[in-house]
Structure 1
Amino acid sequence: MKTTFIKYTACLVLFGSFLFSCKDLTQLNVNPNGVQPETVNPNLVMPTVLSETGKLYVNLGFQDIAGVVQHTQKDAWFSGHNDYDWGGDQSWTAYYDLLRNNDLLYQRAVALNMEFQQGVALVMKSMLFGLITDLWGDAPYINALKGEQGGADFITPKYDSQEVIYAGILADLDKANTLLSKPKAAYSSIVESADLYYAGDPAKWQKLANSLKLRYLMRISAKQPDVAKAGIEKIVATPAQYPIIDDASADATMAYVGNNSGDAWPSNSVFDISGSNYRRVKMCSTLLKPMQATSDPRLALWAKKVEIPLVVDAKLPAGTDKITNGIRYLSPDKVGTTPIDTDPNYVGLPPSASQLPSGYNFNPTPGQTSVNPHVSYLNEIYTQAKGPLLKARLVSAAEVQFILAEAAQKGWAAGDAKTRYEAAVKASLTAWGVTSSYNAFIAQKGVAYDGTLAQIIGQKWIASWTSATEAWFDYRRTGLPALTAGPVAKRKALPLRFYYMRDELNLNKTNSGVAIEKLETTANSQADGKNSAWSKQWLVQGTGKPW
């Protein structure tokens, strides 16, 4: 039987070899599932572009940029978050990797005449290149994504100016607006499940394109006010041609699936069994105090009350430090001159206040793995891997209405500033499920419209929770809110940009060097040289902002 089996097997091998020898080897190298770059269906590429962009956006706006704009602070592994101790390791590689995938999406959509997918790709290209230039400054743009063509111009591409990049973004968004202007039935090959933002709804993608255009027009408003004014007024004057995200139901969001650590909310304790990513993040007092002062209904959704409030009582005997009925009582001599926050409900961590932030507010167990019962943690929804409020929030109706409120306040034809401002506040409350609190909230002192830019930007800053990157760019452009660096921060001012990374300085030395020379040094950047987080990009040079 053994001899028979060997002979049978040998025959099968010889027969198989004969069959394959008759086939063209190029045929054997074709993937039958159609995932070769030359034949891939755009709908197979789209989910990766959308999901990874959403994750990148959250990893900025919920992580270190939330520390910059003082939404949150960390009490462990905190130096980058609280103190801007960034060094030169901030890389745009992930952004360009996504742009390459997105370019494949676009090129295949053009080849197959899929206009919906073309429009989506142009919107995502605009968003990603917008982030790159917003974060770093001048960057490879025109000659980017062409490395496979060979040649030094493409392998080590020149850096284009911010002015050129923003102009290209605005042009691409105009093109996307046209591509996405048809009824859904007019498009071929829309796969709803491939569109993680809008389930294949071209009308909402068209709104996103024009809303992004508003974002970038306002971004360049200090440098090119005539361009910004004309562009915003054109969108407002022709809403049928240029629809925008005008209510929270059209917000560009991506829900987290929560099946594994790669598609779960980043602070979850479901896959991070230690709970460290959740435990180390605290509400910042800079955000918490104004929200508490106006009874902001979003605060309870974002933060927990302190587990054990502090009470300092002069009637207590010297040396008293005890917990009774869930309250920790301290005599004044135990406190001395150390800052203490005895608010019975919410306590925020001050920005960059200490080399040992885990010890704030008399935490009895400071350290990297400590638990501080005297400072507000984030709401427990942020321990979950997924949930109805756990979304990447890329562009919102609130942001759009705040932009138009600012434009109207400038005297541009963008509607009534008060109406726009109130619509923005209501849209934010709606997005967080607390619309019913709007009437009482908008009547609060400090929230009721007072006609100032500081109030518009201040409420926009609050509304950008978990999407803090936009708040940073607004601060850089306006100096608002009037944020100040904490006492142990790396510099005495908030940073303005990311460093060009070491790999780029080494591998594309000539072109990165030209870009660095165009940066403007400041008093805060002198210790780093021109490639500093405190050097000014073209976008803010000559504006006197933010400091």
Structure 2
Amino acid sequence: MKILNLFSKSLLVLAVVLLGSCEKHLTELNENPNVVDPSTANPNMLMPTVMTGAAMGYLELGYNDIAGVVQHTQKDGWFSGHNHYDWGPQDWSSWYNLLRNNDFLHQRAVESGFKFHQGVALTMKSFIFGLITDLWGDAPYTNAVKGGVSNDFLQPAYDSQEVIYKGIIEDLKAASALFASGDNTGYRTGYDVYYNGDMSKWQKLANSLLLRYYMRVSAKMPEVAKAGIEAIYTSGVYMKTPADDATMNYIGATAANSWPGAVAFQADPSEYRRRKPAQTLMDNLLSNNDPRLTVWFAPVYVRWVEDPTLDVAVDPFIRKNGVIQQGVVSLTDAKYLTEVKAGAKFTRHYNPDKFGRKLDTREYVGVPPGLIDPSSYNYNPTPGQVVENQHVSQLAEAYRGSSGGLLKARLISAAEVSFILAEAALKGWAVGTAETHYNAGIKNSLDTWGVGNKYEAYIAQKNVAFNKTLEQVLEQKWIASWTAATEAWFDYRRTGFPTMKAGPASPAPVLPLRFNYGDNEMNFNAKNADGAMGRLEVTPHSGQRGKNSPWSRPWIVQGTGKPW
């Protein structure tokens, strides 16, 4: 019996030893060496994901469909969303995915005691939530991006725009204070893709975003906006030159990390070709001899020439250096580019008396907004989705590129900040003189685009010299927002400037005000989404979509009488 008991005890000890060994082995097997343990994640590793995602997403908006809304560009192929605001439900999941990563960044920064990383996380949180509420209206905020299994988190309530803007302002104040400490403990060089750990520039970014959002709410919370803008101006800590701009360079190694539409990653570069300057912007640049014109846009490949002596209405073929090219109506984009670089001049003559109407004979030609068939504009002989319009300007050759030079995503600029202060001064707020800030905004924009040496000649133009009007300040701010058109849209929405009209193919005769809430929200968070839609104001232009329409008013413009 004793032997049996001893044998049983021995088996028990062996089993415990084996079980412990097995458990340790299984634990080791379940540890993925390729995944970072959340409890030890380094905040530096999290920053690039949030920063690059936010910058690229913002550039995509301002270079694509919103550039069409504010009439910086028009498309002549696959154009309905760009030119006509033919928008279906717009999903915001990519922005909330960034916010989840950013929330983890903030958690790890707090746990690690890293003030710099906390400030970055609060700044990026403010930027992204600001964009969400600017684009859609009310949105999940207080309970957004939180874990858990309760319905409050899986189906978060929508906060009002007022609550969101107030939260953004408080977070940016907190971020500014963290950056003011100068403590960048824990930062590793290369992980901050905006400023490489320069806390003074981050504080300028936080304060400049505060200026943006104070001005955004100035019609709804004027006293808050006035006090906030005056305080930041008094501090002197905000963007003053393009060296302070929040920008991100593209890597250019793949289509995913290159400038949108980079031709290196397209068998046929139609994405580049179908984006054209809008006539609204083009006419402004031409009328004021704006030096940014040639930086942004290219001359037409084939210039129209009025010729009353022509026996027919229109030349059947193009002319090269004045000589008819028999049988040649047009060339390919690549052929034109090669020939033009070699010095060739292409024209096509027409007789307006026989043709019965005028064509645009200028060297630079833009497409009017919202045309029914923009590819045919200016009597293009090759209309359609793919072939270029030889009688309309394309973007400058630089925008064929993948990275480098001017190809940067810009979140906010010194030019924008200067125009904000100019507007504040026109309101009578204590921020210096409107003319000083207005001129600085123009100078900063020209410097940004490499034509600062043309400032004196440009500012002397009759329509550019300061005339003390809000319309002029907003017009110049609109021009300066090239490739960052979202801010121009939000400015237009709250002020009605610059004056723009929707084109003939638009579903409404006025410009839209917001994005539609997406299908995911309507399907999986319907109660809260319905509540948010109920707080939108239906307008005569809302149409069959009802409240969830691009022409319904969110809180930020309700009661303001703007923009239409």
- What TM-score, normalized to structure 2? 0.90
2:192 counterpart residue number: 195
1:165 counterpart residue number: 164
Q: Which runs of 5+ in 2 are unaligned?
A: 1-17, 323-345
Q: Is the 8 A contact 2:313 2:355 kept in 1?
A: no
1:228 counterpart residue number: 225
1:301 counterpart residue number: 295
Aligned partners of 1:420, 1:176: CA distance in 2, in Å?
A: 26
Displacement of 1:333 after TM fit?
5.5
Q: 1:210 to 1:316 in 2, by over 3 A?
A: same
* Cα deviation 1:470-489 (Å, max 9, x = unaligned): 00000000000000001111
Q: Is the 8 A contact 1:92 1:132 kept in 2?
A: yes
Of stretches 266-275 and 457-466 in structure 1, the one that deviates more from structure 2 is: 266-275
Q: 1:73 to 1:20 in 2, by over 3 A?
A: farther
Aligned partners of 1:20, 1:332: CA distance in 2, in Å?
A: 93
Aligned partners of 2:35, 2:373: CA distance in 1, in Å?
A: 55
* Cα deviation 1:61-109 (Å, max 9, x = unaligned): 0000000000000000000000000022x11000000000000110001
Aligned partners of 1:35, 1:334: CA distance in 2, in Å?
A: 74
Aligned partners of 1:391, 1:180: CA distance in 2, in Å?
A: 24
Q: Is the 8 A contact 1:254 1:392 kept in 2?
A: yes
Residues 1:111 and 2:111 are matched in the alignment: yes
1:488 counterpart residue number: 505
Aligned partners of 1:373, 1:479: CA distance in 2, in Å?
A: 34
Aligned partners of 2:87, 2:431: CA distance in 1, in Å?
A: 39
Aligned partners of 1:320, 1:352: CA distance in 2, in Å?
A: 26
2:58 counterpart residue number: 57
Counterpart amino acid of residue 366 in structure 2: G
Q: Is the 8 A contact 2:187 2:197 kept in 1?
A: yes
1:510 counterpart residue number: 527
Q: Is the 8 A contact 2:272 2:399 kept in 1?
A: yes
* Cα deviation 1:269-312 (Å, max 9, x = unaligned): 01122101101100001001111111111110100001110022
2:328 counterpart residue number: none
Q: Which runs of 5+ in 1 are unaligned?
A: 1-16
Displacement of 1:18 after TM fit?
11
Counterpart amino acid of residue 54 in structure 1: A
Q: 1:37 to 1:166 in 2, by over 3 A?
A: same
Aligned partners of 1:109, 1:93: CA distance in 2, in Å?
A: 24
Counterpart amino acid of residue 143 in structure 2: N
2:87 counterpart residue number: 86
1:277 counterpart residue number: 271
Displacement of 1:334 after TM fit?
5.7
Counterpart amino acid of residue 427 in structure 1: N
Aligned partners of 1:471, 1:420: CA distance in 2, in Å?
A: 18
- What TM-score, normalized to structure 1? 0.93
Q: 1:374 to 1:173 in 2, by over 3 A?
A: same
1:75 counterpart residue number: 76
2:202 counterpart residue number: 205
Aligned partners of 1:268, 1:334: CA distance in 2, in Å?
A: 42
Q: Is the 8 A contact 1:318 1:332 kept in 2?
A: no
Aligned partners of 1:336, 1:84: CA distance in 2, in Å?
A: 32
Aligned partners of 2:508, 2:23: CA distance in 1, in Å?
A: 70
Q: 1:409 to 1:319 in 2, by over 3 A?
A: closer
Superposition map of 1:244-323 within 5 A: 244-321=238-315, 322-323=317-318
Counterpart amino acid of residue 67 in structure 1: G
Residues 1:332 and 2:323 are matched in the alignment: no
Q: Is the 8 A contact 2:314 2:355 kept in 1?
A: no
1:351 counterpart residue number: 369
> What count of residue pairs does the alignment treat as equivalent?
521
Residues 1:40 and 2:35 are matched in the alignment: no
2:327 counterpart residue number: none
Q: 1:34 to 1:113 in 2, by over 3 A?
A: farther
Displacement of 1:443 after TM fit?
1.0
Q: Which has the larger radius of gyration?
A: 2
Q: Is the 8 A contact 2:161 2:556 kept in 1?
A: yes
Q: Is the 8 A contact 2:270 2:387 kept in 1?
A: no
Counterpart amino acid of residue 112 in structure 2: L
Displacement of 1:20 after TM fit?
7.5
The percentage of aligned residue pairs carrying the same residue is 55
Q: Is the 8 A contact 1:122 1:172 kept in 2?
A: yes
- Root-mean-square deviation (CA, aligned residues, Å) is 1.5
Q: Is the 8 A contact 1:34 1:41 kept in 2?
A: no
Counterpart amino acid of residue 323 in structure 1: I
Residues 1:414 and 2:445 are matched in the alignment: no
1:178 counterpart residue number: 177
Q: 1:20 to 1:384 in 2, by over 3 A?
A: farther
Q: Is the 8 A contact 1:318 1:333 kept in 2?
A: no
Counterpart amino acid of residue 64 in structure 1: D
Superposition map of 1:458-473 within 5 A: 458-473=475-490
Counterpart amino acid of residue 465 in structure 2: A
